[in-house]
Structure 1
């Protein structure tokens, strides 16, 4: 969570706050909690600068108030998301009612730079953030004074982009004495399915697929996740985007949608790409090798996209590109299927009661992906749960909803100071695992980079609860 300066060199990363309600917003009638329990951090600072600020406050869910602090339907939370290339905000009520949802896309920048350029993305966030947040409040017919708390993504993601959202959230929370909830981006992708599917209960299996992440997790409870598999190099969304760019597709609507559309016109069996990591009997993902295969296939067919975008290609050239797109998509999704089948087997051993596979993240909007994974879960006796496409891509609703889930069990930070300086150090977690790694899930293919990785959300919460 965004930081509070400490007078001590020892960081304190966990607080539990319990307040008496006095009204709809009755958390901080005098901006002072009636009860505070301090918990010393279980984790040392990641770097010398980190000793100057306090990470996300995680209150133990074992510390329950005698009575509910606030009725669920009375909770109203603003969610802010700026982890990568979209500026998003939403207002959601505790009962799941979406009061507003606003997204400012950076599609033009993606097309211009051929991907996410962090500095350009940061500038776009800075230009859009005030308008997006205000529009979310206006569309909900509310002001910041009507909010119960502010939730904001603090990681994983691009530091420059995360900072924009966190600073905006802290300004609003400080000005209006609102609690603030730090959100894990991937947890938000997983939990938004619980907003749209009211009967989705823990435990469940989740496949989170996007431009930056491939993640298979077993969600045992709120804040308790087991990582069954992750990407060891490139994620599927990044592979879709690169392939679309190499094929000369229009990137303004996103590489994934453009490639899926072209693939419908091609022969998926025309090119025999190898399925990645078939020799490794785990649940981890790798798309770097498949990208290389695609690049070689394009070169062997002498497709020159620099001079001939898809819109100008002749029928034979377009057909050749469509075959590559279809063949790539078939193998890319076969890799997903293979890993999901093994993950279902492992998850049922750990939690035999699971009934659902949740598929979320930007790539979950792909209809071919949904169709193939639905076949996998049907063979396993599970049910496929996919949020609507507007909630699969990065959005403020998923952040607000995840904030509601944690807020209602007491996991939040107190309001920041109203007059924080603009250069105030905030806690950002660009590389932040969601769950603890399953012992059988460790990759033998390649050593994953682990430098500067923050302790997982699960380890922080579980450590707090054990204390």
Structure 2
């Protein structure tokens, strides 16, 4: 396609209100994020109703800021894209309805984007020459997947969590040892002061040779350890708990994604999602990649957390294939990767 394609993208699936302008799927002209972390900290996690109300309050200002920062005019945008699932239904609806209104008013094409596909596409922004096929490990607060990306927009899910996502387990363990929300960065930081060999926590595996994950047993094991220590009146070394828990999570994530590369005979792993910022995960994956002659790619931290630039990237590859969404499209909180 000779003409540059500029897409205005909106993301509101959880507790970040975000808007971005992305050119040709890989160049970010603006990427504005209004985070609600400080609002939800006092609740120990995201409260859906509070998140929805905050999205309503700021979405117009965030979108206008994204347009201004891009140095473009609203009427020069080629298409409007938005996350329509998965996520919190109320939060999704705020962004979805706002984006529909914009597309209708501007008479521009409208594209609904899968949030998980957005996380994967963040790697196209960070790594300009990246092209499928490759394996992607998606690890965030609500999602843990191993995906084989055959082509742009064409995915095969190889493994996924059967219960808690890795990020959920981080949050619950962080709460149990008194670190608060959000748990991932806090455990990552504290674990640097601990001994990851101090306590053995289980790694779930399945007899059917599946590459799925399960973190609920690990979470329960950590909670049981804490309860036993408290019942015996013994002091809990929080840093050791954090480091040992994190090692268990990282070990199984690393093992399964390396196995997937060997299964699919590919030599590139792209990491996506909020937990992709975890320092221990990055360290272990890079080491395992070097050992197995597999390159490991990470987005910048700003592209790991929820943002609209990743949605704009994913939308571009749909746009050039001729994919358009109806203005009747509804929020789909349980949308699966590859579904439309």
Query: What TM-score, normalized to structure 1?
Result: 0.70
- Residues 282 and 339, structure 1, Cα contact 8 Å, conserved in 2: no
- Residue equivalent to 1:282: 210
Cα distance, 1:391–1:245 mapped onto 2, change above 3 Å: same
Structure 2 residue corresponding to 1:377, chosen from 289, 298, 313: 289
Describe how 1:35-434 pairs up with structure 2 within 5 A. Answer: 68=1, 71-72=2-3, 74-94=4-24, 96-251=26-181, 254-277=182-205, 279=207, 281-302=209-230, 320-348=237-265, 354-413=266-325, 416=327, 426-434=329-337
Which is worse superposed, 360-369 or 241-250?
Answer: 241-250
Task: Return the index of the structure with the highest Cα Rg.
Answer: 1
- Residues 144 and 172, structure 1, Cα contact 8 Å, conserved in 2: no
Query: What TM-score, normalized to structure 2?
Result: 0.95
Output the aligned Cα RMSD. Answer: 1.8
SS at match of 1:113: coil
Counterpart Cα distance in 2 of 1:340 and 1:263:
23
Deviation string 1:238-269 (CA, Å, 9 cap, x unpaired) is 11111111111142xx3111110001111111
SS at match of 1:332: helix
Counterpart Cα distance in 2 of 1:210 and 1:434:
15
- Residues 202 and 221, structure 1, Cα contact 8 Å, conserved in 2: yes
Deviation string 1:183-207 (CA, Å, 9 cap, x unpaired) is 0111111122112212211111100
- Residues 204 and 220, structure 1, Cα contact 8 Å, conserved in 2: yes
Runs of 4 or more above 3 Å deviation: none
Q: How many equivalent residue pairs?
A: 338
Deviation string 1:196-240 (CA, Å, 9 cap, x unpaired) is 212211111100000111101110011211110111000000111
Counterpart Cα distance in 1 of 2:165 and 2:325:
32
Which is worse superposed, 106-115 or 394-403?
Answer: 106-115
Counterpart Cα distance in 1 of 2:202 and 2:82:
40
SS at match of 2:98: helix
Counterpart Cα distance in 1 of 2:275 and 2:145:
12
- Residues 79 and 151, structure 1, Cα contact 8 Å, conserved in 2: yes
Q: CA deviation at 1:408?
A: 1.6
Q: Give the number of the structure whose residues are more often helix, by fraction.
A: 2
Q: CA deviation at 1:95?
A: 6.3
